Amino acid sequence: MFVVPVSQQADGTHLHSLVDALPAAGPSGVVTIEPGASPDLIQPVTVTQEFITIQGDLNVPPTALPSYQLVIHAGNVKLTNLVLSSVEVGTSGPLKSAFNNVSKCVITTLTAFDASLDLLAETSSTAAPASPGTARRAAM
């Protein structure tokens, strides 16, 4: 599945929003954000689908892509080559996400409620002070 600019025709594999592309990708699917795509109008986008990969077009730097706010309430989610103004992984309640992976992303604010987030070294992140009960991680 691809999230493409609104100027491009939508079809069965090319959609205009991440919220529409996630369920269309199906189990263990991949959603690729293309240059020129518009961020979803309603954010944050909540990801509840297990084993999904959300990636920016790997042929361009993440800074050439739109910025997203994501809330991850699923396990085995992979985020690669994205600009994330905020990403929240897990919840302060029972564990709902495990074995998530974030790499090659530009992140402004990261909130990780569980210890199963794999942040790879090439991810750029600026973490704000954590609220009680939250863990913040930043890797440069």
Helix (H) or strand (E) holding 103: strand 100-103
Query: pLDDT for 1-45, tens place per residue?
Result: 999 999 999 999 999 999 999 999 998 999 999 999 999 999 999
Domain boundaries, the chain: 2-125
Say if strands 117-119 and 100-103 run parallel, antiparallel, or are unpaired. parallel
Omega cis (within 30) before 44: yes
What whole-number distance in Å separates Cα of residue 139 and Cα of residue 120?
A: 7
Higher pLDDT, 24 or 121: 24
Question: How many Cβ atoms sit within 10 Å of the Cβ of residue 123?
Answer: 25
Query: pLDDT for 89-104, tens place per residue?
Result: 887 666 566 788 889 9
- The predicted model scores a pTM of 0.81
What whole-number distance in Å separates Cα of residue 120 and Cα of residue 140?
A: 9
